[in-house]
Copies of this chain bind each other. A is one copy, B any other.
Amino acid sequence: MDQTTVKIMARITARADTVISLRQILRDLVGPSRGEAGCVGYELFQNQDDPVEFVTIEQWSDQAAADAHMSAPHVAAAISKAGELLALPPLIHRFAPVD
């Protein structure tokens, strides 16, 4: 992986009764996020053993692009809609590759 890019993983946890709604909100974020400047990769996954858990695996060209994503209008709208559907606060962290 290009060492100058920024790898982010976000873990987003629904409640049992909000999985379907949250899944749709997160799914709707994929296209607009991939269309952002500096988006190298953006994938959304659902834990098959514990379906309330979603993970995004994101790669951005630099920290500025990752920061811009967090304040993009489609992300702000999703956070607003998703807030009451979450079981836990989202865990969003940068990850460095270990060679």
- Chain A interface residues toward B at CB < 8 A: 1, 7, 9, 23, 26-27, 30, 43-50, 53-55, 57, 93-99
Sample (30) of A-B pairs whose CB atoms are under 8 Å apart: A7-B45, A9-B45, A9-B55, A23-B98, A26-B98, A27-B98, A27-B99, A30-B98, A30-B99, A43-B97, A44-B97, A44-B98, A45-B95, A45-B96, A45-B97, A45-B98, A46-B95, A46-B96, A46-B98, A47-B93, A47-B94, A48-B93, A48-B94, A48-B95, A48-B96, A49-B93, A49-B94, A53-B93, A54-B98, A55-B95
Closest CB of chain B to A15's CB: distance in Å? 18
Closest CB of chain B to A2's CB: distance in Å? 13
Give A53 to B53 CA distance when docked, in angstroms: 18
Could you say which residues of chain B place their CB within 8 Å of the CB of A1? Answer: 43
Could you say which residues of chain B place their CB within 8 Å of the CB of A54? Answer: 98
Give A66 to B1 CA distance when docked, in angstroms: 23
